[in-house]
Amino acid sequence: MISLEKFHLFYEENKEKLPIKQSGRHPVDNDNFTTWINRQGDDDSSERIFADLLRKYTRYVPYSEFYDKIERISADVRTVVSVYKPKNFVILILGMTWNEPIKKSPVWVGLLYYGILQEKVTHILTDIRDVIQLAKTEKTLCIIAEDASYTGNQLKSFIGDIKIDIGTKNNIEFFLGAPYISKKAKSIVKSALGGCYISSVTDIFHTIKDNVANEPSAIKEIAKKSKGYDDISKNYTIYFDHKLADTYSIIQSIYALGRDLSSENRSDKVLTLIKNCDYSGYELDPTQAYSDIQTKIGASKMCPTPIYKLIDYTYEGKKLDSFDPMYYIQ
């Protein structure tokens, strides 16, 4: 369990580092996207039709929109607190076991929520079992801090295999504080927790396959014949000022490097589809596996760079690598 008093001092010391500056904006580069689409094939080809749909469904989320959702979800939390009247209000920062590196998204988002809701917070916890223990005797509301969930697998692994008896279940309410979540992840997390509240403010997004399925049948059938469709149809097309998700979640190789859909006709020239991202200082080949490129230059050099990996947290003036100084035995 983390000392709330120490966590508050930690927040006060680092709160100015949390927001993203306007210079860090990374909207879609429409000119480059058009260039990329045009080189996928003729106007009526399956590759070109599919490329047009990828542009149609690409969703860029500026930091201002992201933080607005944090604020509106926090307002929703206040309403739930007023009605539910819990004895304990917990911000749960999952995945932060003893000595775990602190530069992770749940920590960053947890701090954003704490900055808004701090007068309501009674506990900062990193293990869901501690939340369940509180709820054995007292009514408890728990908000799970996260920025977004694509596959839901990471949240599920952090939650683990938990069992909540009936008496405890009546004493606990989970509130998922992720402003953006996929339809699949929503289902996985609800199942793992045995139910949780997801604010109507939360943005539910879909895979490329689901989006294409909603197109008129003629367009849908042509797009599905694209040589790139099977490779990326289970991925997503949403990205943020504060990060471009991993390659299991989003089509990084296309957004970051302009990789062409057909493996038979791929340019070896980098074409970045996101503004304010520059790879001119690297000798990169977008026909290579994205993981190899990421290994070559380092994950922190990919753009948009996860902002939470660049924050140098301190505690009492000293560099902080984990929550260890704030833990205490109850």
Q: Compute the distance between CA of residue 73 and CA of residue 113 in angstroms, rounded to an integer.
A: 9
Contacts of 91 (CB under 8 A, 6+ apart): 110, 113, 114, 117, 121, 123, 124, 125, 142, 143, 145
Contacts of 101 (CB under 8 A, 6+ apart): 321, 322
* Per-residue pLDDT, 260: 93
Domain boundaries, the chain: 4-18+86-204+311-326, 22-62+206-307
List phi, psi (to 5°) of 64. Answer: -60, -40
Taking 60 as the threshold, does the pLDDT of residue 330 lie above it? no
Please, are residues 102 and 323 in contact by the beta-carbon 8 Å criterion? yes
- The percent of residues in the chain predicted with pLDDT above 90, rounded, is 72
**For 283-305, how does the pLDDT look when each residue is reduced to its tens digit (9 = 90+)?**
888 887 777 877 888 777 778 88
pLDDT tier at 5, thresholds 50, 70, 90: very high
Q: Compute the distance between CA of residue 14 and CA of residue 3 in angstroms, rounded to an integer.
A: 17
Please, are residues 256 and 269 in contact by the beta-carbon 8 Å criterion? no
Q: Give the global pTM.
A: 0.93
Contacts of 99 (CB under 8 A, 6+ apart): 322, 324
**For 90-131, how does the pLDDT look when each residue is reduced to its tens digit (9 = 90+)?**
999 998 877 889 999 999 999 999 999 999 999 999 999 999
Q: Compute the distance between CA of residue 150 and CA of residue 93 in angstroms, rounded to an integer.
A: 18
* Per-residue pLDDT, 283: 85
Taking 60 as the threshold, does the pLDDT of residue 246 lie above it? yes
Closest to 267 in 3D by CA, of 54, 22, 39: 39
pLDDT tier at 73, thresholds 50, 70, 90: very high
* Per-residue pLDDT, 319: 96
Averaged pLDDT, 74-93: 96
Taking 60 as the threshold, does the pLDDT of residue 150 lie above it? yes
* Per-residue pLDDT, 58: 96
Q: Compute the distance between CA of residue 151 and CA of residue 131 in angstroms, rounded to an integer.
A: 24
Please, are residues 274 and 256 in contact by the beta-carbon 8 Å criterion? yes
Structure-token pair, residue 51: 């490329």
What are 148's strand-pairing partners? 180
